[in-house]
């Protein structure tokens, strides 16, 4: 009897620990594409959404890795911009650069290796430290991200029809977003995936008009408007927001590169005062700490 009670107590403790660990992650989950579109629609009082550029840049955690995504989500809710590339045998993996040297222990072009050969490669963090983590398959990331976050697939060298097929295979329109550089790309995907969300380029009037004439509904979009919101793109931002589109800026090429945390903090604060709807950053945890304060 005592043994049965002890076993029951141990099982309860284990379940409690698992539940506690699950709740420590800040997941984003949507019941359907309608709730997803509502989440991304612009409203004046919306909280700022953080997007981890290439997943994020944190010591010990490589960019474009599931382990890196999980590390960010242990601290704050976020979405992730990631980079699909093709191997020699047409397998889709995550890798920003065409070559392996900067982020892995390998050398040469990604496209010169088969997926089987790339399994031996290990990822490096942003400081060049070798980690135990491996290059992930895009398909594994899509499966992993369901009920946890939104992954935004940048446009690299993967044909549009292959991305379309993978999203359909996993019924992933609720948690996969597609970066498109032109209205024609957006239209191609929309005709085949009418509920998918897009991250469109609308940094100026020309790009705005290209997206507007595509016929893709505004409710299916967020818009990348540049590194900041200023007099150069203010009119475009206003039009986008009138159409219910959230506007995203990126700190990756600018403020994220400042040498010290204090310098970045001051730069971030000035940008936050301009009220972007979404901020893309290499350092999502650091920015998240500031936004919480």
pLDDT per position as a tens digit, 215-254: 999 999 999 999 999 999 999 999 999 999 999 999 999 9
Q: At residue 20, does pLDDT exceed 70?
A: no
To which H or E segment does residue 39 belong?
helix 33-40
Q: Is residue 44 part of a domain?
A: yes
Read off the tokens for 41. Answer: 């629609």
Burial 1-29 (b: 16+ CB within 10 A, else e): eeeeeeeeeeeeeeeeeeeeeeeeeeebe
> Residue 91: pLDDT band by 50, 70, 90 thresholds?
very high
Phi, then psi, of 85 in degrees rounded to 5? -140, 160
- The per-residue pLDDT for 293 is 82
Is 13 a domain residue?
no
How many Å apart are CA 224 and CA 200, to the nearest integer? Answer: 6
Residue 4: what pLDDT? 43
110 domain residue, yes or no: no
**Residues with Cβ within 8 Å of residue 291, at least 6 apart in sequence:** 48, 50, 272
- Whether 69 has a pLDDT exceeding 80, the answer reads yes
Q: For position 218, what pLDDT does the model report?
A: 98
> pLDDT, tens digit, for every residue of 134-149?
999 999 999 999 999 9
CA angle 11, 13, 17 (to 5 degrees): 115
- Is 1's pLDDT higher than 80? no
Query: Is 221 inside any structural domain?
Result: yes
Tens digits of per-residue pLDDT, 173-224? 999 999 999 999 999 999 999 999 999 999 999 999 999 999 999 999 999 9
Domain of 36 in residue numbering reads as 28-94+137-292
Separation of alpha carbons 77 and 245, rounded Å: 20
Can you tell me the mean pLDDT for 121-134?
97
Answer whether residue 9 is part of any domain.
no
- Residue 22 falls inside a structural domain: no
Please, which residues bridge with residue 178 across strands? Answer: 153, 198
Can you read off the two tokens belonging to residue 280? Answer: 């893309």
CATH (domain of 196): 3.20.20.190
**C-alpha span between 249 and 49 (Å, rounded):** 11
> Is 101 a domain residue?
no
Has residue 67 got a pLDDT over 80?
A: yes
Mean pLDDT taken over the chain: 92
* Residue predicted with more confidence, 49 or 292: 49
Nearest to 221 by CA among 244, 203, 205, 251: 244
C-alpha–C-alpha distance, residues 197 and 178, integer Å: 6
- Provide the number of structural domains found in the chain: 1
Residue 19: predicted pLDDT: 37
Are the beta carbons of 288 and 89 closer than 8 angstroms? no
Mean pLDDT, to the nearest integer, of 54-61?
93
Q: In whole angstroms, how large is the CA radius of gyration of the chain? A: 20
pTM over 0.75, yes/no = yes
Beta-bridge partner residues of 219: none
């Amino acid at each position: 009897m005592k043994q049965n009670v002890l076993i029951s107590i141990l099982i309860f403790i284990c379940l409690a620990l698992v539940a506690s660990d699950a709740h420590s992650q800040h997941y984003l989950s949507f019941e359907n594409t309608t709730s997803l579109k509502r989440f991304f629609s612009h409203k004046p009082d919306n909280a700022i959404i953080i997007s981890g550029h290439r997943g994020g840049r944190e010591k010990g955690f490589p960019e474009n890795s599931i382990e890196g995504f999980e590390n960010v989500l242990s601290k704050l809710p976020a979405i992730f911009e990631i980079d699909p590339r093709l191997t020699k045998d047409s397998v889709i993996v995550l890798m920003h650069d065409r070559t392996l040297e900067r982020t892995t222990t390998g050398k040469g072009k990604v496209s010169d290796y088969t997926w089987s050969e790339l399994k031996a490669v290990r990822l490096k963090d942003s400081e060049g430290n070798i980690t135990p983590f491996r290059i992930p398959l895009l398909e594994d990331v899509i499966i992993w991200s369901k009920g946890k976050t939104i992954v935004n697939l940048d446009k690299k060298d993967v044909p549009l029809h292959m991305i379309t097929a993978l999203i359909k295979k996993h019924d992933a329109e609720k948690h996969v977003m597609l970066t498109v550089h032109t209205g024609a790309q957006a239209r191609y995907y929309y005709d085949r995936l009418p509920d998918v969300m897009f991250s469109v380029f609308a940094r100026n009037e020309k790009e705005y008009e290209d997206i507007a004439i595509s016929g893709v509904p505004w409710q299916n979009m967020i818009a990348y408007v540049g590194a900041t919101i200023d007099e150069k793109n203010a009119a475009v931002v206003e039009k986008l927001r009138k159409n219910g589109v959230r506007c995203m800026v990126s700190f990756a090429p600018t403020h994220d590169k400042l040498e010290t945390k204090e310098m970045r903090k001051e730069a971030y604060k000035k940008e936050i005062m301009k009220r972007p709807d979404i901020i893309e950053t290499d350092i999502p945890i650091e920015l998240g700490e500031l936004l919480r304060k």
